[in-house]
Chains A and B, each alone.
Chain A
Amino acid sequence: MSEFLEFGAEHLPYILEGLPITLGLWALAMAIGALFGLLLAWARLYGNKLIYGAATAYVEIFRGTPMLVQMLFIYLGLPEIGIVFDPFTAAVIAIGLNTSAYQAEYFRGAIRSIPRGQLQAARAMGMSQFQGLRWIILPQALRRVIPQWSNEAILELKYTSIAYAIGVSELTARAEKIGYETFMFFEVFMLLALIYIVLTGTVAQILQFLEKRTAIPGL
């Protein structure tokens, strides 16, 4: 045990230098995912045939292929047609687009769970469809989606680790590097797992707090 602590004390600082990268990847990807996810949900609920079809295809493609493949395609495939990203950007895009497909389905489900009468009452007052969605439906749907969104956020926090495959120097890449330097793979990955547990636990706590803070009776 004391050996493990010693090992941790020695290598933790180096691994934790990857923490801002991991959190940055995650936060940017979740933001992209939320923005695109909302747009996709809107497209699938209210779009015409063409918009609906395009959004549905997008969701199916991103949910039906591995995120690692998507990331490799963006980082290694796109340069062949002249689109070049640095590893961090490529990872943000891949994770962001991937999670947007999942978030879209959660947003869509939450919006559909709001009784029809709510939008009707908004329209009857003279709100446009957009105003009704913005002021009446979204505030309710966003509250309802928090539990699912939290699961997705935690899943994606762990998924940032695959960015190591394209050379992003985040937590996992740094831990692996220590592993090869010290050949103490058991210890280093135990340490890494501990870091992720603390991270996901903290995020879960924060989101649970948010859910409680925003709760409204009857919603």
Chain B
Amino acid sequence: MLLQVENIHKRYGTAEVLKGVSLNVVAGQSKVIMGPSGTGKSTLLRCINHLTPPDQGRVLVEGVEITSANLNKMREKLAFVFQDFNLFTHLRAVDNVAVGPRKIRGMNKVAARDLAMRELERVGMVERAEAYPAELSGGQQQRVSIARALAMEPKVILFDEPTSALDPELTGEVVAVMKQLASDGMTMLVVSHEIGFARQAADEIIFMDGGHILEQGPPEQLFASPQHERTRQFLSRIGEGGAGA
């Protein structure tokens, strides 16, 4: 088991946002988390890499609890792709990708740049390697941020709604990159309502509601015959009819 998430609880003030969430991801799998707004999907991802420390529960990567030793070292294995990209404003695309290998992994300048160019190649951004983030479209920025994640050679990439800040015509290029990663065997845990990605690239869909995992299963099964009314309602709202529609 590459990623084990066990019984995560998180509360903000009196509101319990995560009420004991557990899930596992096998190496090479892609799982997609869906669910209504405010259900705790982002909080779960942030708890997994301890950007937000959970109140309770454990996260293990390759069997090692991520808080057991150096958290920064463990985070290198868990890349995070943000909804609003968070590219480093002062760095050109290539340097956004190279900064981690250089400053965290201790690579020399030339090696880090070579690696960065290879990762930009993978996301189709080599031509814009010298551009600053402000000079790129949203879709391009997100592809650079995926390259930045890849350059850390992580075990798992966590995606928090990678396409939802994009204009509809720009989501396709990002989804295409993510599909390619999935078929290359990258292990991915993706919060997203992109049906195309979920259907074609996900091994499993996890449906969350009210701080719980309500149900999970392979996409064809979950989309065709959801067990819970809540899931059915949600799927029909995001345009995926399920059995009802």
Residues of A within 8 A of B (CB): 114-115, 117-118, 120-128, 131, 135-136, 139-140, 143, 216-219
Contact = CB atoms under 8 A, between A and B. Distances in A.
Contacts of B73: 126
Interface string B82-126: 101011111000000001100110000000000000000000000
A136 B104 CA distance: 13
B234 interface: no
A121 B83 CA distance: 11
A140 B90 contact: yes
Contacts of B75: 123-126
B90 A126 contact: no
B132 interface: yes
Given A143-B90, A218-B132, A125 B82 contact: no
Given A131-B104, A217-B134, A121 B88 contact: yes
Given A121-B80, A143-B90, A219-B134, 18 more contacts: A115-B86, A117-B82, A121-B82, A121-B86, A121-B88, A123-B75, A125-B76, A125-B149, A125-B152, A126-B72, A126-B74, A128-B72, A131-B104, A135-B99, A135-B103, A136-B88, A140-B88, A216-B89
Interface in B209-228: none
Given A124-B79, A126-B73, A118 B103 contact: no
Nearest to B102: A135
Contacts of A117: 82, 84, 86
Contacts of B99: 135-136
B195 to A, nearest CB: 27
Contact of A217 (B82, B100, B135): B135
Nearest to B149: A125
B51 interface: yes
Contacts of B76: 125-126
Contacts of B79: 124-125
Nearest to A135: B103
A216 B90 contact: yes
B138 interface: no
| Most chain B beta-carbon neighbours within 10 Å: one of A124, A127, A131, A216 | A124
Contacts of B86: 115, 117-118, 120-121
| Most chain B beta-carbon neighbours within 10 Å: one of A135, A143, A219 | A135
Nearest to B80: A124
Nearest to B105: A126
11 contacts: A115-B86, A117-B82, A118-B88, A121-B82, A125-B76, A125-B80, A127-B103, A140-B89, A217-B134, A218-B133, A219-B89
B72 A218 contact: no
Contacts of A217: 132, 134-135
Given A131-B104, A135-B103, A124 B49 contact: yes
B90 A219 contact: yes
Nearest to B145: A121
A216 B132 contact: yes
Contacts of A131: 103-104
A13 B149 CA distance: 62
A105 to B, nearest CB: 22
A115 B103 CA distance: 21
Interface string B143-175: 001001100100000000000000000000000
Given A217-B134, A217-B135, A218-B133, A125 B90 contact: no
Interface in B29-86: 49, 51, 72-76, 78-80, 82, 84, 86
